[in-house]
Amino acid sequence: MDNVTGASDTSASVEGLDLTRLGEMLRERRGKLSLRQAAAEAGVSFSTFTRVEAGAQPDLTSFTLLCAWLGVSPGQFFAPVTERQVAPIDEAIAHLAADPRLAPDAASKIADVLRNMYDVLAKAPAQQQVVACHLRAASVLRPGVPHRLNSLLGEMHEKLAARVAGGEL
């Protein structure tokens, strides 16, 4: 899908495969070699080499042969995939559902118990302390000064965080 026009451009990308870049690299690597010579060196047919160089999608075997001929990893032609974060409880429940020793209704009952226990016992992740200060002279300061400094630094942090969240900083 072309982000500007909204039209589909199958020659540039099929399921995240950058066919345009593959074709460019094949032309660059081929240089002054004829298409037949390059195809023979790469181990693919003349017609396959010609089509892929023009932006067509190769089959898996041809793709790996062409990548080997180019001396590059096949992975570089794929767009990065965003992976979905799976909560630990969902992962545990998925394992239960896949266990062949459990009937589906038994796995569902265990999953319900686990989810209820998790909801009751799980705590929100603790916020990491952003402001930290090491006072080498803390042992020689008057009593209570390190504690007051800690309070002041904490207040400063909260105010700065609020300004950052408000877009002021």
Q: DSSP characters for 43-62?
A: TS-HHHHHHHHTTPPPPHHH
CA distance 64 to 52: 12
Mean pLDDT of 137-141: 66
Residue 29: name the closest of 81, 79, 65 by CA: 65
pLDDT at 137 (0 to 100) = 63
68 Cβ neighbours under 8 A, 6+ residues apart:
42
Confidence check: pLDDT of 164 > 90: no
Task: Give the chain's length.
Answer: 169
CA distance 110 to 104: 10
Helix (H, G, I), strand (E, B), or coil: what is residue 80?
Answer: coil
What pLDDT digit, counting tens, does each position of 68-97 carry? 999 998 888 887 666 678 888 888 888 888
- Tell me the pLDDT band of 147, cut-offs 50, 70 and 90: confident
What pLDDT digit, counting tens, does each position of 3-51 carry? 433 344 444 444 578 889 999 999 999 999 999 999 999 999 999 999 9
Among 1.10.260.40, 3.20.20.70, 3.40.50.1220, 3.40.50.1370, what is the CATH number of 13-77? 1.10.260.40
pLDDT at 10 (0 to 100) = 41
What pLDDT digit, counting tens, does each position of 95-107 carry? 888 888 989 899 8
Per domain, the residue ranges of the chain are 13-77, 88-121, 126-169
Query: Where is mean pLDDT largest: 110-114, 158-162, 165-169?
Result: 110-114
CA distance 151 to 11: 61
Mean pLDDT of all residues belonging to the chain: 81
